[in-house]
């Protein structure tokens, strides 16, 4: 009986462990588009397309040429994508060489890795496609060479993964309709078998994370969306089946090129085809992660017929409007959250006071911290009615300030709290613990004289107190001075142990200031004599003050002892 109980407990434990270990699938907005150039205008059009009707975190495919590896150019582009909640898929390219694209070489990998690793990516997954349609000779230096392509792909994939495992590597998409006519063309199945054989199944499974598919509706880019198999919008199904037969693990699919020929089909027909393709084929298939049709905007041959923007760069074709109107969802990609909150605040506050603290914040992650993006700061352990936090937005790489306004009550004692950044219910970063005491209000005794009077008295003095940021934190008018001494019983809004600038003001006299550090109980302070040279009462000594001083006997008479 005891043995059976142990077995049951073990089974329950394993079941519980397994249920916890299996992660839930994150929500994903599959809609995307392929961009020829990442202009501000086209990024805006892309965002309005893929993140419409309730959607967020759609995709775009972009191409970076080897002679365009400039962080100063691409980081601002990534930052714009971040602001518009768009996930980039980056295809690496070489450079034009006559009528061909130059063959990629392993010797260039270090420069690529350095450049790509220096960018602050939009989300944790750094989607990379290694080159393009290599079963075309024109895409690989003029000769189809699966062995060369395989070696370069393995070198790049290995180097990128070693630099950062967040790189999500995909082999360049194949032309699935290319004939077997080497050295100009090679059938996609033959080419792929050669690539896998060269790399090896084990290494391919280790270094490649996804599959980039060019699921075009052929023949003539005008095939029916209802067709299936190779050469259709379901071409990726044929590719996955082939990969499985070769021993490759099931890979998530990114359809980075697809689309219909606008010179053959009407744009309304293309819009109908896209509606069916998304709603009946791509969206229901859990293997498809993203679809970025080719191409949003291309203003010349040979790709004008695929462009969703008419010639002249104005307006949009029906397929844009139709896809824009399709229902979408909010994607939840993993975003690296990293940063720091620096707490260096006073340890002794006083009751019934209001404080303004400037707290330094550093954003070392990928997210834009703002209320518009669902982020907010909370002061843990403090009644929400007793504080207010003001900030605008803190972008990745920013060092910024969060303004915290805290009010104390008449409840004395010790307090502990932290400043915490939340995204929804998720805690992102937190400060170290801030411990402080709330104590009784201190008092201030001061002495002062009015030059040239022998006896200083009056009831029209004003005392002002400024903190280290030069904020006015305390002000009291109508302060009485008798025989050169004045006092204020309760001073609020100051922190004990902190230095303040104290300013004493009286009409017609130049202000005097002194510095002091407040402590518990009674504090004392001495001011230098106040000089009667502020005739125009602007708080500063000017030539006209001296002129008026000596030119007005009534004024001088009032100031004499």
3-state secondary structure 358-372: EEEEEECCCCCEEHH
The pLDDT score that the predictor gives to residue 53 is 97
The pLDDT score that the predictor gives to residue 541 is 54
- The alpha carbon of 153 is separated from its chain's Cα centroid by a whole number of angstroms, namely 31
% pLDDT > 90, the chain: 90
Q: Is the pLDDT of residue 20 over 50?
A: no
| pLDDT band at residue 535 under the 50/70/90 scheme | confident
CATH assignment of 443-559, among 2.40.30.10, 2.60.40.4130, 2.40.50.100, 3.30.930.10: 2.60.40.4130
Q: Is 443-559 in the same CATH topology as 339-439?
A: yes
| pLDDT band at residue 12 under the 50/70/90 scheme | very low
The pair of three-digit structure tokens given for residue 68, joined into one six-digit string: 């365009």
Its pTM stands at 0.86
Q: What φ, ψ does residue 74 adopt, rounded to 5°?
A: -85, -25
The pLDDT score that the predictor gives to residue 523 is 97
- Span 370-382, average pLDDT: 95
| pLDDT band at residue 546 under the 50/70/90 scheme | low
Q: Is the pLDDT of residue 203 over 90?
A: yes
**What distance in Å separates the CA atoms of residue 495 and residue 355, rounded to the nearest whole number?**
9
Q: What does CATH list as the number for 26-325?
A: 3.20.20.80
The pLDDT score that the predictor gives to residue 256 is 98
The string of pLDDT tens digits covering residues 78-132 is: 999 999 999 999 999 999 999 999 999 999 999 999 999 999 999 999 999 999 9
Q: Is the pLDDT of residue 543 over 60?
A: no
Q: Find out whether 129 and 160 touch, Cβ atoms under 8 Å.
A: no
- Span 226-246, average pLDDT: 98
Q: Find out whether 144 and 137 touch, Cβ atoms under 8 Å.
A: yes
Lowest mean pLDDT: which of 1-10, 150-159, 323-332? 1-10
Q: Find out whether 138 and 100 touch, Cβ atoms under 8 Å.
A: yes
For domain 339-439, say whether CATH 2.60.40.10 is its number: yes
3-class SS letters over 135-184 = CEHHHCCCCCCHHHHHHHHHHHHHHHHHHCCCEEEEECCCCCCCCCECCC
In 3D space, the residue among 107, 123, 120 whose CA is nearest the CA of residue 66 turns out to be: 107
**What distance in Å separates the CA atoms of residue 265 and residue 276, rounded to the nearest whole number?**
16
- More confident: 543 or 306: 306
The pLDDT score that the predictor gives to residue 555 is 52
The pLDDT score that the predictor gives to residue 556 is 54
Q: What angle do CA 216, 236, 152 make, to 5 degrees?
A: 95
**What distance in Å separates the CA atoms of residue 214 and residue 414, rounded to the nearest whole number?**
65
Q: Which residue has the tokens 């495919």?
A: 61
DSSP element (H, E) containing 443: strand 443-447
Ordered strands of the 472-482 beta sheet? 512-517, 499-505, 458-466, 472-482, 485-488, 443-447, 522-526
Q: Is the pLDDT of residue 478 over 50?
A: yes
Q: Is the pLDDT of residue 22 over 80?
A: no
Q: Is the pLDDT of residue 547 over 80?
A: no
The pLDDT score that the predictor gives to residue 10 is 39
Beta bridge partners of 421: 377, 429
Domain ranges across the chain = 26-325, 339-439, 443-559
**What distance in Å separates the CA atoms of residue 213 and residue 541, rounded to the nearest whole number?**
79
Q: Which residue has the tokens 């896809």?
A: 323
Question: How many residues are listed for the chain in this entry?
Answer: 561
The pair of three-digit structure tokens given for residue 406, joined into one six-digit string: 């805290």
Coil, helix or strand at residue 61: strand
| pLDDT band at residue 454 under the 50/70/90 scheme | confident
Q: Is the pLDDT of residue 16 over 60?
A: no
Average pLDDT of every residue of the chain: 92
| pLDDT band at residue 26 under the 50/70/90 scheme | confident
Q: What angle do CA 124, 77, 315 make, to 5 degrees?
A: 115
Q: Find out whether 296 and 45 touch, Cβ atoms under 8 Å.
A: yes
Q: Is the pLDDT of residue 72 over 90?
A: yes
- Span 330-351, average pLDDT: 97
Coil, helix or strand at residue 13: helix
The pLDDT score that the predictor gives to residue 4 is 42
The pLDDT score that the predictor gives to residue 113 is 98
The pLDDT score that the predictor gives to residue 7 is 39
The upper half-sphere exposure of residue 65, i.e. CA atoms within 13 Å in the direction of its Cβ, equals 10
Q: What angle do CA 438, 444, 449 make, to 5 degrees?
A: 160
- Span 319-334, average pLDDT: 97
Q: What φ, ψ does residue 126 adopt, rounded to 5°?
A: -100, 90
**What distance in Å separates the CA atoms of residue 447 and residue 529, rounded to the nearest whole number?**
9
**What distance in Å separates the CA atoms of residue 526 and residue 513, rounded to the nearest whole number?**
10
The pLDDT score that the predictor gives to residue 538 is 65
Q: Find out whether 468 and 379 touch, Cβ atoms under 8 Å.
A: no
| pLDDT band at residue 534 under the 50/70/90 scheme | confident
């Amino acid at each position: 009986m005891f043995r059976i109980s142990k077995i049951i407990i073990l089974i329950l434990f394993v079941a519980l462990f397994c249920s916890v270990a299996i992660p839930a699938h994150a929500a994903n907005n599959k809609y995307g588009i392929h961009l020829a150039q990442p202009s501000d205008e086209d990024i805006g059009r892309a965002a309005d397309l893929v993140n419409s009707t309730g959607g967020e975190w759609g995709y775009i495919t972009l191409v970076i040429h080897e002679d365009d590896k400039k962080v100063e150019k691409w980081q601002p582009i990534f930052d714009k994508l971040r602001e518009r909640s768009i996930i980039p898929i980056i295809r690496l390219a070489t450079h034009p060489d006559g009528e061909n694209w130059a063959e990629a070489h392993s010797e260039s990998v270090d420069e690529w890795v350095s450049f790509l690793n220096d960018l602050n990516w939009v989300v944790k997954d750094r989607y990379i496609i290694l080159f393009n349609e290599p079963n075309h000779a024109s895409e690989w230096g003029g000769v189809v060479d699966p062995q060369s392509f395989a070696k370069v792909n393995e070198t790049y994939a290995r180097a990128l993964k070693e630099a950062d495992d967040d790189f999500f590597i995909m082999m360049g998409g194949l032309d699935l309709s290319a004939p077997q006519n080497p050295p100009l063309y090679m059938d996609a199945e033959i080419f792929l078998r050669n690539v896998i054989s060269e790399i090896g199944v084990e290494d391919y499974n280790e270094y490649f994370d996804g599959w980039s598919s060019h699921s075009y509706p052929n023949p003539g880019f005008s095939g029916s969306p209802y067709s299936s198999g190779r050469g259709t919008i379901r071409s990726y199904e044929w590719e996955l089946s082939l990969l499985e037969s070769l021993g490759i693990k099931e890979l998530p699919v990114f359809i980075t090129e697809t689309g219909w020929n606008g010179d053959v089909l009407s744009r309304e027909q293309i819009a109908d085809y896209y509606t069916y393709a998304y709603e009946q084929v791509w969206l229901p298939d859990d293997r498809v992660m993203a679809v970025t049709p080719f191409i949003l905007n291309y203003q010349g041959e040979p790709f004008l017929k695929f462009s969703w923007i008419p010639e002249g760069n104005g307006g949009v074709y029906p397929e844009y409007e139709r896809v824009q109107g399709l229902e979408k969802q909010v994607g939840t990609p993993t975003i690296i959250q990293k940063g720091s909150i620096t707490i260096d605040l006073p340890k002794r506050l006083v009751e019934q006071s209001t404080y303004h603290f400037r707290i330094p914040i550093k954003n070392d992650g990928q997210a834009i911290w703002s209320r518009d993006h669902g982020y907010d700061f909370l002061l843990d352990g403090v009644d929400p009615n007793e504080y207010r936090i003001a900030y605008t937005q803190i972008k990745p790489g920013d060092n910024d300030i969060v303004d915290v306004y805290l009010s104390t009550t008449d409840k004395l004692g010790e307090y502990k709290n932290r400043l915490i950044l939340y995204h929804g219910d998720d805690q992102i970063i937190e400060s170290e613990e801030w411990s402080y005491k709330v104590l009784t209000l201190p008092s201030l005794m001061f002495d002062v004289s009015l030059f040239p009077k022998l006896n200083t008295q009056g009831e029209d003095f004003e005392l002002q107190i400024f903190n280290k940021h030069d904020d006015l934190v305390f002000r009291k008018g109508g302060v009485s001075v008798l025989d050169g001494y004045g006092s204020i019983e309760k001073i609020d809004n100051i922190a004990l142990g902190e230095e303040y600038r104290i300013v004493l003001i009286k009409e017609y006299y130049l202000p005097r200031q002194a510095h002091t550090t407040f402590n518990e109980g009674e504090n004392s302070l001495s001011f230098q004599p106040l000089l009667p040279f502020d005739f125009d009462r602007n708080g500063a000594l000017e030539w006209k003050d001296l002129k008026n001083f000596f030119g007005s006997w009534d004024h001088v008479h009032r100031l004499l002892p």
